[in-house]
Structure 1
Amino acid sequence: MTDFKKRLEEAYEDLASKIKFRPKLAITLGSGLGRLADQVEIEQEISYKDIKSFPVSTAPGHKGRFVLTHIHGVPTIIMQGRVHLYEGYSAQDTVMPTRLMGLLGAETLIVTNAAGGANKDFSVGDLMIIRDHITALVPSPLNGPNLDDLGPRFPDMTEVYNKELGDKLEKLAKEKGISVQNGVYCQWQGPNYETPAEVKMATILGADVVGMSTAIEAMAARHMGMKTVGITLVTNMAAGISEVELDEQEVIDAGEAASGYFIDLVMDFIKELA
C-alpha cells in the first residue's frame, strides 16, 4: 500500500465516522467566496485539523473546514477553504479533499475559484464557466501508482467539466442577468502571481484566466467519475494586462464584493439540480 493510499484511507475512515449523513453534492469554495457556507443552515462542521492524515489549509481567506448541510433538500458537503500546491503539498495531497468528498458519496462537484483575467474581453467581477483547463504547467495528481478502486490508469479527459451542467448554469445565469463568460482555466503552482510573459504564454496556449487551484481537483474528480462544473470569479486582471501591482487582499475583496450574485446563482443552480 502506498503512503498516500494509506493516508487517504485513514482520513476517509475518520471523516466517515464523524459525519451525520452521506452527501450527494460537493462544493469547493475559492478565495473570497467562502461566504456561501455562512449563508446555509450548518448542520455540522468539521475542521480539517481534526481529520486524521488530512492536509490543513493555510491560505488567507480560507477557513479550513467541511460544512455539511442540505440545500434545497440536497445533502451537501462544502469545502470552505482548499489546500494548494504552493502550501508545500504534493498534487496527490492537494486533491485528497476532492477524493474524500467523492468517496463519501458526492456524485456532483461544483468547484469555484478566484482567478486573474488573461482574456482582455473579460472584466473584473465576471463569472466564467470553466469549459476546459490547462494543467501542463503543474504536477498531475494521478502520478504514481494508480488507485484502481477509484478510477482507471489512463482516464479520458475530453470532458472534464460536464457540458450539460455547464450549459444549464450558463442559461440560468443569463436568465438572472448575471455577466457570465465561458473559457479555459490555466493552473499555475504559485504562490507568486504570474509574470506578464507567462500570462502571454497562457493566452497563446488558449487560456482565458490564470489561477493556482481547481484544475487538478477537477482532474481527480473526473478520474473518479464525478460530474464537475467549474465557476471562476475574475477578481483582477492578470499581470501585463492589469496596470497595477497584484496583491491577495484585492482578490479577497473582489470575492466578497461578488458574493451576493455568486451565492444567488449557485443556490438557484442547486435548486435546479434538485
Structure 2
Amino acid sequence: MSTTQLRGASAASLDTVLAAVDASGDSGAELGEQLFGVVASLDSSPALRRVLTDPSTEDEAKRGLASSVFGKAVSAATLEVVRTAVGARWRVGRDLTDGLEVAGVVAILKGAAAAGQVDVLEDELFSVANLVTSTPELRSALSDTTVPGAGKSDLVGSILDGKAQPATVAVVRQAARARSASFERTLGAFADLVAARRSRLLAEVRTAHELGQTEHDRLAAALTARYGRDVHLNVVVDPSVIGGLAVSVSDDVIDGTMSSRLEAARRQLAG
C-alpha cells in the first residue's frame, strides 16, 4: 500500500473518504480497526469488490449493498465511511481497498492525536521497524509468503501486546498483512502517511553515539530549513558509522560519515 499509488479519480476519491473519516465522531481506534476488517473482507471476496467498484452500477445500489453486507458488523460511523467509499469512483477495484486501508490508518492517527499520543505512535512505529530489521528470525517469518497475513498479524500482535500503545499495535498488525508490499515497505508507508498528515517529514539519522538534545535540535532545525517543512528525527545508534552522521529523508541521502569517506578513499586507491 502506498498513497502515492492512487492516481486520478482514485486520488480524488481518497480525499473524499478521508474527509468522511475527519468528520466522523466515532472513536479513532474503533473506526480504524473496523475499516481494516472491511478491507480484509473485501480482499477475501474479489467478486464483492468488483460489484462495489463497478462504474455501471448505480451509486445508491452500491451503497445499499455495502449496508446489507457490513451494516450489522460495524458501527454507524464506520458504515458511513464505507458507503462514502463505494459511492466514489476508483480507477481499479483494488484502489477501493487500498483507500479504505489508508482511511483506517488515518482514523487511528486521529484517535492518537486526540489522546496526545502521536509522537509516541511515530517513535514506536520506527522502533518496531528497527526491531524487525535487527531480528533475522522475525524478519524471515514476516516475509514468508506461505504464512497467511492473519497469522503474521497475530504474531506481531503477540510480540507488541503490552509493550506498545494500542494505536501502534493496530497499525503494525495491519502492516504485517502485507497486502501489496512487504511488511517493512508497508510499515514505512504507514509511518510516512502519519508524518504527512502532520505536514512534516521523517528523517532517519544514523550516528555512532547518542545525540545530545542540543545536537538533536540543531540538526532538526537545519533539516527543517533545508526542506521547508518540520522534520521529525528517528535516531539509530550504529557503531559502523565511526564518526559523523548519515541522514535519510525519503529518497534523499546525506552521508557525512567517516566510514563512507574511508570507503570512498579505498575505492579510489583500488581503482
State the TM-score, normalized to the length of structure 1.
0.25
- Compare relative contact order (CA 8 Å, sep 6+) and give the higher one, 1 or 2: 1
Q: Which has the larger radius of gyration?
A: 2
Task: Specify which structure has the higher proportion of strand.
Answer: 1
